[in-house]
Amino acid sequence: MGAIRGLRSFGNKLGLAWWAKVETSAPNVTYWFGPFLTRRSLKLNLSNFVEDLTFEGSDSIKHTLVRGRRGEPLTI
């Protein structure tokens, strides 16, 4: 495990990690994108994730930035 990945995992365990809750209506799915150490790094990477969902045909994509701890499942 790399140093950054280890820090992200540790931050998540402490509830300090940043996540994006991404919801789509077609298909009706909730994705959790993260963890990230900073809100800034999450925002920088989120556009690529949303772009991929759009390319795959997802509609009505909404997202919320959340700081806290997440576990499995990351797709609902």
pLDDT digit string (tens) for the chain, length 76 residues? 688 888 888 888 888 899 999 999 989 999 999 999 999 999 999 999 999 999 999 989 999 999 999 887 778 7
The predicted structure's pLDDT at residue 52: 96
Q: Is residue 56 part of a domain?
A: yes
Q: Is residue 72 part of a domain?
A: no
Structural domain including 54 reads 3-67
Nearest to 50 by CA among 36, 70, 35, 64: 64
Q: Is residue 41 part of a domain?
A: yes
The predicted structure's pLDDT at residue 12: 85
Q: Is residue 75 part of a domain?
A: no
The predicted structure's pLDDT at residue 76: 73
Q: How many domains does the chain have?
A: 1
Q: Is residue 54 part of a domain?
A: yes
Cα–Cα distance measured from residue 50 to residue 63, given in angstroms and rounded to the nearest whole number: 9
Residue 7: how many other CB atoms lie within 10 Å: 14
Whole-model pTM: value is: 0.85
The predicted structure's pLDDT at residue 8: 86
Q: Is residue 22 part of a domain?
A: yes
**Which two structure tokens, joined as six digits, stand for 76?**
């609902």
Q: Is residue 48 part of a domain?
A: yes
